Amino acid sequence: MSDITHEMVKELREKTGVGIMDCKRALSEAGGDMEKALDLLRKRGLAVAAKKSAREAKEGIIGSYIHGGGKIGVLVEVNCETDFVARNPEFQELVREISMQIAWSNPPYIRRDDVSPEILEKEREIYRAQARETGKPEHVIEKIVEGKVEKFYIDACLLEQPYMKDSSITLNDLVSQKIAKVGENIIVKRFVRYQLGE
């Protein structure tokens, strides 16, 4: 079996909109064959979910979660396409899971696109300075920096984070699975997290 590179995963993700872990899994099962991996994702309904993500979502609910005896509170707006899905218990459970994840992980961003280029460049500068301390060559330093940027996204972006109840999938994978199940686009629109004394 050929090695699955970051570029291959990225390409499959761009083609399908499916989460990183699902793309990696499909490529591994397909032995690195892009077309076979695409077929696998289609069969699982995940590529369909990604296509639905282009559709407009103006319905939905604002969910809340209070944790730690009232010490942490979360409000989150999650949108879908119809009021019918917004009232669906499965959609409401997803909103609750998302709000619990926010309470647990306290992410500053929802998705990668929310991170400003200035913040990203500042992070890269810090990682470069740290990597140069090791005395490694410049081409290795850039690889280290990109690896740390990926880790930054996983830590800082809600949808990139491992799902707290199943770390083999990301929160984005969880949302994609629900999109495939309910047949509508689902978007985490915004959230606010309060912590007592902050």
Q: DSSP readout, 16-82?
A: H---HHHHHHHHHHTTT-HHHHHHHHHHTTHHHHHHHTTS---EEEEEEEEETTTTEEEEEEEEES-
The average pLDDT across 6-18 equals 78
Rounded distance, CA 197 to CA 29, Å? 49
| Pair 90, 168 in one domain | yes
> pLDDT (tens digit, 9 = 90+) per residue, 155-191?
999 999 999 999 999 999 999 988 888 888 899 999 9
pTM of the model: 0.69
- 137 vs 166, more confident: 166
The answer to whether 183 and 86 are in contact (CB under 8 A) is no
Q: What is the pLDDT of residues 87-103, one digit of tens each?
A: 999 999 999 999 999 99
- In angstroms, what CA-CA distances link 126 with 7, 137, 138, 143, 158? 24, 17, 15, 14, 22
Confirm whether 125 is domain-assigned: yes
Is the torsion defined by CA of 77, 78, 81, 84 positive or negative? negative
Residues 172, 151 within the same domain = no
Q: Is residue 89 located within the same domain as residue 184?
A: yes
Helix, strand counts (H, E) of the chain: 9, 5
Structural domain boundaries, residue 139: 116-155
Do residues 150 and 175 share a domain? no
72 within a domain of the structure (yes/no): yes
Which region among 11-20, 24-33, 72-81 has the lowest average model confidence (pLDDT)? Answer: 11-20
Q: Provide the pLDDT for residue 1.
A: 42
Task: Measure the CA–CA gap between 18 and 139, rounded to whole angstroms.
Answer: 30
Q: Which two tokens stand for residue 153?
A: 């996204």
> Is there a single domain that holds both residue 101 and residue 70?
yes
Does residue 1 fall inside a structural domain?
Answer: no
pLDDT at 146 over 50: yes
Write the CATH number for 31: 1.10.8.10
Please tell me whether residues 91 and 165 are part of one structural domain. Answer: yes
* Separation of alpha carbons 37 and 42, rounded Å: 9
Question: Residue 30, class by beta-carbon neighbours within 10 Å (0-12 exposed, 13-18 middle, 19+ buried)?
Answer: buried
**Number of structural domains in the chain:** 3
Mean pLDDT of the residues in the chain: 87
Contact yes or no for 11/38 (Cβ under 8 A): no
Give me the pLDDT at residue 54, please. 56
The DSSP H or E segment spanning 193 is strand 187-195
CA geometry: angle at 42 spanning 39 and 44, to 5°? 115
Q: Three-state SS for 91?
A: helix
